[in-house]
Chain A
Amino acid sequence: MTTTPTSSRPAVRRTRGLQASRTRVALLLLVPMLLVLAAVAGYPLLRTIYLSFTEYNILQDPAPKWIGLGNYWFTTDEGVGLGVLQTPEWWQSVWNTVRFTLGSVLLETVLGLAFALIINSKIRGRGLLRTAILVPWAIPTVVSAQMWNWMYNDSFGIISQWGQKLGFLHTGESFLSNPDTAMAALVAVDVWKTTPFMALLLLAGLQTIPSDMYEAADVDGASPWTQFWRLTLPLLMPALLVALIFRTLDALRVFDMPYIVKGNAPETITMSIYARQELILNSQFGFGSAISVMIFLIIMVFTAIYVTSLRVRFD
């Protein structure tokens, strides 16, 4: 680039030279970050994709053995389906993850919006409220999982006690131990932990709406209800959309909270928990990698939708 064809005007050449040297500097500044990113993201991802085409029990096999698409789709001579896409456990984990995602994202959006509207209203002590809702966010996920585990405890848990008193549960039963309510119990933990984050994002959105729009609506005699649906909600849409998609992506890859609270229980196993179970607990690096690749593809499809629908632009 420095040997750009001759130009009769030296000034142009000087700016070109400057431009080229700035590009070189920029590249040098970027190299360390890019190297680390390639080492922790690029290479491991490619390696995972490669392993997903192999049969590899990391404890028994000396090396991965190439089997093509067998981990994804493979039917034995007896007609038994062994590929990921043929196993009921995978589809169970997908279904669980979908239920978890829909339930938590929906509730978090509604509750988060309510929290944001309260904090944004002219109530005294809203500073205190805003500070208080940061507490669940600040508590580590593992800690909140164990806190709720204790509150869900079948004989000593306060929530189980409430459930038993109100007649939802039998004596000695908890929302967690009952397979029908276990997923709802996990959603409740996630909602408690993450609604504040949602509320903060929406609060930021609410505060960008100029107050004179509400004054104008008041003059026109619009009721608060009408104002909310016709004014607040449409103007809040961009912030709401961003928050929604962020929460969806997080919920789709959820691992820690459900794993600590319910382990590998089939009624609540999520895609990530299933992948780790096959990879680490069962040492199936080939099959487990195929599950990981499937999760990666699902997340990437969602991200693509996010980037295109919001027209995210840089620079």
Chain B
Amino acid sequence: MNSKNPTVRTLTQIALWVVALIVLFYVLFPFYWAVKTSLTGPAQLSSEALAWFPTHVTWQNFRDVFAGQPFGRNLLNSVVVASGTVILSLLLSALAAYALGKFRFKGKSILMYIILAVSVFPQIAVLSGLYTMIKTFSLYNTWGGLILSYMIFTLPFTVWTLTAFVREIPTELEEAAYVDGASPLQTLFQVLLPVMTPALVTTGLLAFINAWNEYLFALTFTSDNTAKTVPVAIANFSGATIYENPFGQIMAASVIVTIPLIILVLVFQRNIVSGLTAGAVKG
């Protein structure tokens, strides 16, 4: 790589470029294929399924997804459930992270171990218990039932990550607030939270993506489109329609739910990479 011979250097660069192009193709091709399929009309799908480029670009599948399926309702369910989950998790974990990051008390490390343990919970291990609980409280097939169940994976994650951020905030800020006679809650909401905004955005975004993508609980705790979220709708598409090949519509629905995520990820990519690695390396 640091060879002084210019030919060797050029060759290395070319080899790297070839490998990079292969990687790019590997990573992007399935997504391109989904977009291409979504733009192929149902009449052409069988004959053009294997063509590399769409010949007659049509928005037919995108219209059908909303006209023939309750996809709008599914989208609304997903937005409400994922946002509700994020808001609730951030609120609860901001309080907890303040306590865990700035206060000293006995049993703190045990508590951290418990939270870590919950974050690796296999969701299936609580499925039957949660199911009976959700039935008992009449939360089955409701937004509330899903938001509550999603707490099991968002809450440990947000508590963990926010605690790491709170620990980094200089103690002087908090002491100044204490001297000024601020209550702990005032200190948290008026002094610490403004400093934590970037952390809250990153953590909230990652929690949102996780909640948006959740499948097992959404599949198990909903029965019809009152609360069915987008992943369940997309997974159940096949066979639910009388078309010979619903893949055009499935791909259209897939593109609709993926584009916003890709935009979010590209806009916040730096935060996401640091958030992912911070969360992972620290547990």
Q: Which of B17, B30, B49 has the most CB of A within 10 A?
A: B30
Residues of chain B within 8 A (CB-CB) of A137 are: 265
Quick check: B277 and A200 within 8 Å, CB to CB?
Answer: yes
Quick check: A47 and B216 within 8 Å, CB to CB?
Answer: no
Quick check: A51 and B129 within 8 Å, CB to CB?
Answer: yes
Quick check: A25 and B216 within 8 Å, CB to CB?
Answer: no
Quick check: A41 and B152 within 8 Å, CB to CB?
Answer: yes
Residue B213 contacts which of A30, A123, A140, A292 (CB distance < 8 angstroms)?
Answer: A140
**CA of A253 to CA of B125, assembled, Å:** 10
Q: How large is the interface on A (under 10, 10 to 19, 20 to 34, 35 or more residues)?
A: 35 or more
**CA of A292 to CA of B123, assembled, Å:** 9
Residues of chain A within 8 A (CB-CB) of B126 are: 40-41, 44-45, 48, 292
B21 → A minimal CB distance (Å): 10
**CA of A275 to CA of B126, assembled, Å:** 11
A156 proximal to B (CB < 8 A): yes
- A26-B155 contact, Cβ under 8 Å, with A121-B1, A123-B13, A140-B212: no
A296 → B minimal CB distance (Å): 4
Chain B 29-67 interface 0/1 with A at a Cβ cutoff of 8 Å (1 = within): 011011001000000011001100000000000000000
* Binding-face segment, A101-109, A144-152, A170-178: A144-152
Quick check: B122 and A40 within 8 Å, CB to CB?
Answer: no
Quick check: A30 and B27 within 8 Å, CB to CB?
Answer: no
- A150-B34 contact, Cβ under 8 Å, with A123-B17, A299-B122, A303-B120: yes
Quick check: B19 and A40 within 8 Å, CB to CB?
Answer: no
**CA of A200 to CA of B269, assembled, Å:** 11
**CB nearest neighbor in B for A303:** B120
- A292-B127 contact, Cβ under 8 Å, with A40-B152, A125-B20, A134-B272: yes
Residue B251 contacts which of A23, A147, A239 (CB distance < 8 angstroms)?
Answer: A147
B144 → A minimal CB distance (Å): 12
**CA of A246 to CA of B119, assembled, Å:** 11
Chain A 261-276 interface 0/1 with B at a Cβ cutoff of 8 Å (1 = within): 0000000000110011
Chain B 242-260 interface 0/1 with A at a Cβ cutoff of 8 Å (1 = within): 0001010011001001100
**A-B interface pairs (CB < 8 A), number:** 290
Quick check: B276 and A29 within 8 Å, CB to CB?
Answer: no
Interface residues of A in 102-134 (CB under 8 A from B): 115, 118, 121-123, 125, 129-134
Interface residues of B in 77-122 (CB under 8 A from A): 92-93, 95-96, 98-100, 103-106, 108-109, 111-113, 115-118, 120-122
A213 proximal to B (CB < 8 A): no
Quick check: B258 and A303 within 8 Å, CB to CB?
Answer: no
B204 → A minimal CB distance (Å): 16
Quick check: A151 and B30 within 8 Å, CB to CB?
Answer: yes
**CA of A148 to CA of B37, assembled, Å:** 12
**CB nearest neighbor in B for A29:** B99
Chain A 207-247 interface 0/1 with B at a Cβ cutoff of 8 Å (1 = within): 00000000000100000100000000000000100110010
Quick check: B103 and A150 within 8 Å, CB to CB?
Answer: no
Quick check: A239 and B281 within 8 Å, CB to CB?
Answer: yes
Interface residues of A in 185-203 (CB under 8 A from B): 192, 196-197, 200-201
Residues of chain B within 8 A (CB-CB) of A144 are: 30
**CA of A29 to CA of B168, assembled, Å:** 19
A53 proximal to B (CB < 8 A): no
**Between-chain CB contacts (< 8 Å), 30 pairs:** A22-B103, A23-B103, A32-B95, A36-B155, A41-B118, A41-B126, A47-B129, A51-B128, A115-B23, A129-B24, A132-B27, A134-B266, A135-B27, A141-B213, A146-B234, A146-B235, A146-B250, A156-B46, A156-B50, A156-B245, A158-B50, A253-B122, A253-B124, A255-B123, A256-B216, A280-B220, A292-B128, A299-B122, A299-B125, A303-B120
Closest 10 CB pairs of A and B: A44-B129, A47-B129, A156-B49, A26-B103, A296-B125, A253-B122, A44-B126, A33-B96, A29-B99, A142-B231
A residues contacting B by CB (< 8 A) are 19, 22-23, 25-27, 29-30, 32-34, 36-37, 39-41, 43-48, 51, 58, 115, 118, 121-123, 125, 129-151, 153, 156-158, 161, 192, 196-197, 200-201, 204, 218, 224, 239, 242-243, 246, 249, 252-253, 255-256, 260, 271-272, 275-276, 279-280, 285, 288-289, 292-293, 295-296, 299-300, 303, 307, 312, 314-315
